[in-house]
Chain A
Amino acid sequence: AQKVTQAQTEISVVEKEDVTLDCVYETRDTTYYLFWYKQPPSGELVFLIRRNSFDEQNEISGRYSWNFQKSTSSFNFTITASQVVDSAVYFCALSEDNTNAGKSTFGDGTTLTVKP
């Protein structure tokens, strides 16, 4: 069985602060895929990143960075110099079979509020 835990329900920061969103996962598979999605107030889920289990390289994309650590089963997401437009709900997800949408599990989400 797979499980995704986002322990932080809500986070509030002031603009320009750095913020890290935590994601801890459980899976028995050795091959799996991890994702982060952003859900702005408009509602649609926006894909941010996919990471394969066999690639532990951290990734940076502009102000976004992701820290994947298999030893702690974590896939944390950091926003550097946060902006008001970063305010959204962020979801972490795990897929053991990326050819089958039904095999994906989402976390409960973390609501990030960035205040000016």
Chain B
Amino acid sequence: ETGVTQTPRHLVMGMTNKKSLKCEQHLGHNAMYWYKQSAKKPLELMFVYNFKEQTENNSVPSRFSPECPNSSHLFLHLHTLQPEDSALYLCASSQDLLGLETQYFGPGTRLLVL
């Protein structure tokens, strides 16, 4: 399998649930990203990891908890979410932190919070 994969592709959860989103890249990249894409809002960068270390947290609420155990895997742990957190969550990876155009995006996880 090549590129950036994300699982699950769709997720419905209640506000009291705990779930995790998974991203895996098979490109040998060192940097990984989480983005949030809400309806009728611009794409928002949430977190950036480079060589497993978090380099950017874009003022994301603590109910979103990222984890990067290695350069190939990135998780987003979710707990006590709100309905307004419903969105498409996109993962991306790049060789390094140079250039938005170098990021490869996964297909996203569409999350619905009830």
| Residues of chain A having any CB pair with chain B under 8 Å | 4, 9, 33, 35, 42-47, 50, 91, 93, 95, 98-102, 104-109
| Residues of chain B having any CB pair with chain A under 8 Å | 4, 9, 31, 33, 40-43, 45, 48, 56, 58, 88, 90, 92, 94, 97-101, 103, 105-108, 110
Q: Nearest-CB distance from A91 to chain B (Å)?
A: 7
Q: Nearest-CB distance from B106 to chain A (Å)?
A: 6
Which residues of A are found within 8 Å of B56, using beta-carbon distances?
Answer: 100-102
Bound Cα distance A106, B33 (Å): 15
Identify the interface centre among B41, B92, B97, B101: most chain A CB within 10 Å of its CB.
B101
CB–CB B100/A102 < 8 A: no
Identify the interface centre among A42, A43, A93, A105: most chain B CB within 10 Å of its CB.
A43
Q: Nearest-CB distance from A9 to chain B (Å)?
A: 8
CB–CB B98/A43 < 8 A: no
6 A-B pairs with least C-beta separation: A43-B107, A106-B43, A43-B108, A45-B105, A106-B42, A44-B105
Which residues of A are found within 8 Å of B58, using beta-carbon distances?
Answer: 102
Which residues of A are found within 8 Å of B48, using beta-carbon distances?
Answer: 101-102
Q: Nearest-CB distance from B40 to chain A (Å)?
A: 6
CB–CB A99/B43 < 8 A: no
- Residue pairs across A and B with Cβ atoms less than 8 A apart, 27 shown, are A4-B42, A9-B40, A43-B106, A43-B107, A44-B105, A44-B107, A44-B108, A45-B90, A45-B105, A50-B99, A50-B100, A93-B43, A95-B100, A98-B99, A100-B97, A101-B31, A101-B33, A101-B48, A101-B56, A101-B94, A101-B97, A102-B45, A102-B56, A106-B42, A106-B43, A108-B41, A108-B42
